[in-house]
Structure formats: structure tokens, C-alpha cells
Structure 1
Amino acid sequence: MFRKYIFVFTVVFQICLSYSAVVKTKRVCVVGAGIAGISAARYLKEAGIDFTVYESTQYVGGTWRFDPRVGTDENGLPLHTSMYKTLRTNLPKPTMELKGFPLPEHLPSFPSWRDYYQYLQDYSKHFNILDHIKFLHNVLLIRRVGDVWRVKHQHVQTNETFEDEYDYIIIGNGHFSKPNMPNIPGEDRFKGKIIHSHDYKEPEPFRNRRVLIVGAGPSGMDIGLDVAEVSKTLVHSHHSKINFSTPFPPHYHKKPDIQEFNETGAIFKDGSYEEIDDVIYCTGFQYDIPFLDESSGLTLSPKSIVPLYRYMVNINQPSMILMGLIVRACLVVALDAQARYATALVKGNFTLPPHEEMMQEWQKRMNAIRSKGLPSSYIHILAEKEDQYYAELSEESGIQRVPPVMFKIRTQDMQAKLDNLYTYRNYVYTVIDDENFVRHEEEPAVRRGLTL
């Protein structure tokens, strides 16, 4: 009888060892050390999962690091950051915090890029993830071979090339670095300067000049008001249907879309004409993952990446997760939730639905978009579905739910922007519990303490 127990114990012990070995041999490749990458790194590390982060620069923080240069960096790679000197977050502190690591209390409600970049550096050090990051390693190619992912990467200074194998891929290289250029007729004839917001650094070069801003997204409105402080004339061309109540300055002139440029200015679709010195295209960015080939099973275009389950899981190759492709959401909060979901998936805490079921879920969303005559890019928009999205992630994976109060704060902040783009950053949002918050105006002394 004793020998029987010994035999059973031995078998069970060997099974446990075998299972442990399987868990430990899971290797994860994380691309990028911006918010998505460092969030994923934190949770993978806490779960005891073997992972490596590849970052082409020598910094964490991604687009939140300001760089005064345009074009390429010191290693000849395209500059990914789109930061400018005067930028402050366009969402309040509670919605900009990564879970379990609050922003410093002394910071204003809408911190400067400098303070937020420091926060991301502090986060990386606090959770001891820097040793897991291969800095100055640019990912060249990720391809599926058999049952593994082969990742080819290059040291950007020595040009030495490596190839490693991984079981899971987490892509977090963002989608705010490749400019979307509108290609308007007559650009080649225009004698002024045309740049994209990606290369905008500060307002001073536009002092006393006639500036045309194209686009009314977050960057268009923010940069437009920034340049309006110094410009002689600010012409704003856009087709947004949003009725902004902001009291724009007298030298601000709204115009419809541009019909064409000539040598000295722009003709608009209402037939009007404005003489222009400089043009800033605030026309957004393209999705760009140049290191993926057809083995990924994804259809890649400048406006969309499909098909994705839960806005992030590659349906055709579910061991690949793409973080941060969502639009109109509390992006930092969403990235943290996606990182926790991805970690739970790698760890085996839950199982994804069958391929057919995931495709049906995605196709249903795409059909709804097409039935409204909207472009395929809308497949990445959360908007009013944001809180529901967090609930679904939690229900499926078991991760802690993002509190509904985050969506409620974003909703009120959106209204504050519609009311007045000059004053919406004056409000402080304080979380009371998972459902409730209070808002009050910030003390002027705190606002004056901004470090830009």
C-alpha cells in the first residue's frame, strides 16, 4: 500500500513538474517601450512570465518624450515622438494613471508632457522592468514559422542582426508616429512651408505669420490655439460637425475644406481665398506595422488593422496581441486593462473562444459600421462603448474591472472641451468611488506651477 502511494505521488509530482516547465517555457516578445510596452512588461513580470521588450531608442515613454529634432534620430531611424513643448495632457489625472501607481498629488489636473514623461520613467523603475528591455534594438521582421514566432531584430548602432523565437507577440509600438498627409492639389506650387503636426515643436516660428491649420481633431484644436497666441492670422480648415462654443480670438477664421493651393495661399471649397505663409496638417496618423508579413494573418492598411477580437487579439493568429489601436477612449486606462488581459491570456487564466466565434463578433461590428456608411477605420473606435468594453474584458479574463467612473469623467471632460477649449483644463476631477467623482476648479497657483 505504501509503495502504491509513493507511485501515485511520483506520478503527480512529475505531472506538476511537466506543467511548470510548460508555463516557464512560454516566451513573450513585446515590441515598444511606450505606455503599452511598459504596462505589458509590468504585468508579465509580476506573473513570472519570460519576456523581452524591444525598443529602437534608448528611452522608455514612447511619444511622451520630447525631441526638438524632426525627421530622424541620431541613429538614422524615424523619430516616433510627436510631442511639442507646450503640450499638456488632454485628459485629467485620474484617467491618465496606470493602475496602482498614482500621479504625484502636487501636479496640476492636466500635467505637462515633461511631468508625465517623468511619471513613465518612474513607473518603469518602480516595477523593475528596465532590465527586461533591449534598448536600441529595432524589430525588422516578425513571422510565423510552424508553432512559433520568429523575431528578427537589429542593434541600431552596431547593425548586428539577431533572430529569436517566441510563443506570444505583444505589439505596442503605437499609432501616432506615421503622419497621414492629405495630398491636396497644388501643394507643389505653394511657396510657403507645409509641415505635419508630427513635426510641430513650438509656436514661436509662426510669430506674426499667416498660418493655416488643417483638421479639427485633438491636435488640430490644441495646436491651433497654441499658434493663435503668436500668429498674425489663424485660418482653420476643417469639416467637423462639432459646434465648439469656444470664444476664438478675432484673428481666427474658420474655413471649409481646401479645394487647392496656389503659390501664395489656399482656395477653399466655398470659393473663398486666403493668403497663407505656413500650413500645419493636423490630419492624424496612419496605422503602421512594417515588420509584419502575410504570416501574421492580418489585413494591414493605413486606416485599419483587421480582424481583431476585443479590439486587440489577432483572430487568425491568437498568440499575437496588438495594444492601443483603439480610438476615443481613456487610452492610458485602456492600455493598462489590455496589458492585464494579455497577461491573463498568456498565463492561461482563460481560453479564447473558437476562431469562428471570434470572427462572428468582429464581423458583427464591421457590418454595423458598413450599414451606417462609415469607413472601416471606425472598427477601432470605442466612444460610447468604452465602459462596456472594460466590462467585457473583465468578464472574460477575470481581470479587475476598470471602474465606470473613468468613462464618466471622460464624458464630462468632453463636454467641458465643447464648452470652452481655453478653460477645460482648469477643472480637477476627484474620484469618490468606482461610480462617482466630483469636479471643481483648480487653484490658479497650481496652474501657474506647470513645468512645460
Structure 2
Amino acid sequence: MNQVLDVIVIGGGQSGLASGYHLKKSGLSFLILEASGEAAGSWPNYYDSLKLFSPAKYSSLPGLSITSSSDCYPDRDEVVQYLKNYASHFQLPIAFHQRVEQVSKESDIFQVRTTTGEIYNARNVICATGSFNKPYIPTIEGQEYFKGNNIHSAFYKTHDPFKDQTVIVVGRGNSAVQIAMELADITNTTLAVRKPISLMPQHILGKDIHFWFILTGIDSKWRIGKSLVNTSGVMDLDGYKQRLKEGKPKQKNMFTSFYEDGVIWADGSKEKVDSVIFATGFRSNLDFIKDLGGLDVNGVPLQSSGISTVVSGLHFVGLSGQRSFASATIRGVGQDAKYVIKHIRKRDR
């Protein structure tokens, strides 16, 4: 394509849609490139029972509220439908089935090449593929010899295939606990953790904790929220505290290695295990900007508050901890997108 746009947005999930909303308000010309056939990001791929840990009233992108009851906690399918409705409501320009494989730059113009062979040109690029598209599993001794089922939580959909198994879920974050709670109903489930699960009350003085996050500035102020991004506090949403107390699921210090039939715990004891599910997070998958020099040696974006520190015109929305505690969440990407688009407008004046 010969047309030079003001902005190309890579990714049509929540981060890309929030960017599109603010770009449309700005009057800048833009196009969103989405690898799949729908504007829903990673949400359709998450496990069936997933639900947000923030109520609907605090779980919307800018300009359009999610339609669930304000006090309920939307589930995966509600979020997927909301994102698709959002794209349609604001008539955002999205090119589907356009997976980006390389971004290059000549003079002041970016060339964005997709796997279909299309080339899109723009003065600015926003990488909005988020932080949750490259599953991370740590390397553990003996892992290659384990004969059981060994997967990342990204590939977990429902507890049904695990019925009557002995299962270990590795991790202590929200997803790990939610999956383990579900599995514990029909399996012998253990959470393998480096530290005991840290639970945060879902309600304080009759208000959901996200009300207090907003009131105190934790959700929006970088200096307050940044330090909390890497914590592993879990919302006590459905009686988790009592269930953990009852050992449904159990908690044990992380195992040290695998053997053919299971795992070896720190005390040297062996346990026969059918399946191990790693809820150990994700890494950004931004290899398409590698040739620009936009990443460090570990593939992490070189950026500050979503603005590349090494490539002029390169930006990011949806990175964990980008500007606040809420960055990378459906409630937080809007404020980060607004900040980035404001920077682009100033830059291109």
C-alpha cells in the first residue's frame, strides 16, 4: 500500500481498540492490523471459567461501558462479546488476518509487512499485542523425562480432561489459584509455590477493592502503582481463603525436579503425578521489531511509559507495568493509550 498513514496499530485486542478510540478522537489517520479474524485479542483462547477480578463498573475501555450488571464480575465470553461490540460501535478501521512479521524503517516512514505479503506505511507504529501472547515455562531439572501431561495454563480450557487425576498447578497468581480451585473439585490438586498464596480481600468496608485502588491512585499513578505490578496478591473472590485453609487445593513449596512418573519435592520425597500445569506467566512476543533495535537482549521493549527510548515514532500500549498498576488490564489500557496518542500528536506537529 502506497498510502502513508499517521499511525499503524499492531494488534486488535483491548490495547489496540483503546488506541483506536483515542486515535479516532485525535483525527489522525490510522489502521489496526489484527492477526485473527475478530477484534478480541487473546480473550477467546483463555480457559472457559475465567472471569475478571474487577467488577463490570471498573472493567471497561474508554467511551463504552460493558453491559453486565455493574457489581458482577464479567466472564470470558462477556468480555469477548464486549470487545467485538466496541470495535463495531466506534467503527474502528481494522484489517483482519494480517499477522505482522516485520517492521522496518526508511527515513521517517515505517514499513509494516504482514505474513500475507501486504506492506503498510506509517509515520508512527503502536505495538498493542500486549504482554500475554508468549507462554513462559521455566526450565526444571528432569522435565524432559516426565511422562505425564505437562502444559502451560494458556492451553488449559476446562477441568473435565483431568477428572480423578493428581494434578500440580505451578504458580501463585490469580490464574493459578482460579484454575487450581476449579480442578480441586474433581482432582487431587496441589499448588506448587515459592511463597504461600497472598490473598487480598475483594471488599473493604463494603466496597470492592478496585474502588479503593482508584480512590487512592494505585490504579493510575505510576509512582504508587509501579511497585505493585510484580506482586502476586490474589483476590479472595469466591471464598478462596477458606478453601485453601481446608486444603482444597493444597499448597506445597515448589518441587525441585521431575522424574518419569512425577515430581521430587524439596524434602526429597517423590509424588506420582498425572499432570503439571504451569501458570507461570507470559512474555511479550515482539520479534517483529527486533530489526529496528527496539528490544533489549531478552526481547523486552526499550521504552518509557510506552514511548520507545531508541526508535523515534515507535510506541507501546498494553505492557504490564507500563505506566501504572492497571496497565495491561482492560480497565487500564485506555489511560495508557491516551498518553501515547497525546505524545504522537505533539511529536507530529
Range of TM-score over shorter length: 0.7 to 0.9
The residue aligned with 2:6 is 27
Find the structure with the greater CA-based Rg: 1
2:53 paired with 1:58: no
Residue 321 (str. 1) matches residue 315 (str. 2): yes
Q: Show CA shifts across 1:21-62 (max 9, x none).
A: xxx975211001000111111221222211111111111010
Report how far residue 110 of structure 1 moved: 0.5
Q: Which residue does the alignment assign to 2:210?
A: none
Q: Which residue identity does 1:264 align to in structure 2?
A: D
- Residue by residue over 1:295-350, the C-alpha shift from the partner in whole angstroms, topping out at 9 and shown as x without a partner, is 24431525x322x222x100112311111112442622321012112222222289
Deviation of the 1:142 alpha carbon:
0.4
Shift of 1:273: 2.5
Alignment partner for residue 197 of structure 1, among 135, 153, 159?
153
SS at match of 1:342: helix
Q: Residue 193 of structure 2 corresponds to which residue in structure 1?
A: 238
Q: Are residues 1:266 and 2:263 paired?
A: yes
Tell me if structure 2 keeps the 8 A contact 1:287–1:301.
no
Judge conservation of contact 2:4–2:121 (CA < 8 Å) in 1. no
1:293 Cα offset (Å) = 2.6
Partner of 2:335: 337
Say what the alpha-carbon RMSD is for the aligned residues. 2.1
Q: Deviations over 1:112-149 (max 9, x none)?
A: 111111111111111111xx111011111101222211
Secondary structure (helix, strand or coil) at the match of 1:293 reads helix
Contact kept? 2:102, 2:288, Cα under 8 Å: yes
Give 5+ residue unaligned stretches, structure 2: 200-240
2:254 is aligned, of 235, 241, 257, to: 257
Alpha-carbon displacement from aligned partner over 1:63-109 (angstroms, at most 9, x marks no partner): 112xxxxxxxxxxxxxxx3x111111122223211122112253652
What TM-score comes out, normalization by structure 1 length?
A: 0.63
**C-alpha distance in 1 between matches for 2:98 and 2:68:** 35
Q: Which has the higher contact order (CA 8 A, sep 6+)?
A: 2
8 Å contact kept, 2:19–2:317 = no
Q: Distance in 2 between matches of 1:349 and 1:316?
A: 15
CA distance in 1, matches of 2:337, 2:247: 46
8 Å contact from structure 2 (residues 294, 301) kept in 1: no
Q: Hey, what's the Cα distance between the residues in 2 that align with 1:105 and 1:117?
A: 13
Task: Note if 1:347 corresponds to 2:345.
Answer: yes
- For 1:28-427, list aligned pairs within 5 A: 28-65=7-44, 81=45, 83-106=46-69, 109-129=72-92, 132-155=93-116, 161-231=117-187, 233-244=188-199, 245-248=241-244, 249-250=246-247, 252-299=249-296, 301=298, 304-306=300-302, 308-310=303-305, 312-327=306-321, 328-329=325-326, 331-348=329-346
Displacement of 1:292 after TM fit? 1.1
Structure 2 equivalent of residue 3 of structure 1:
none
Give 1:257's aligned amino acid.
M
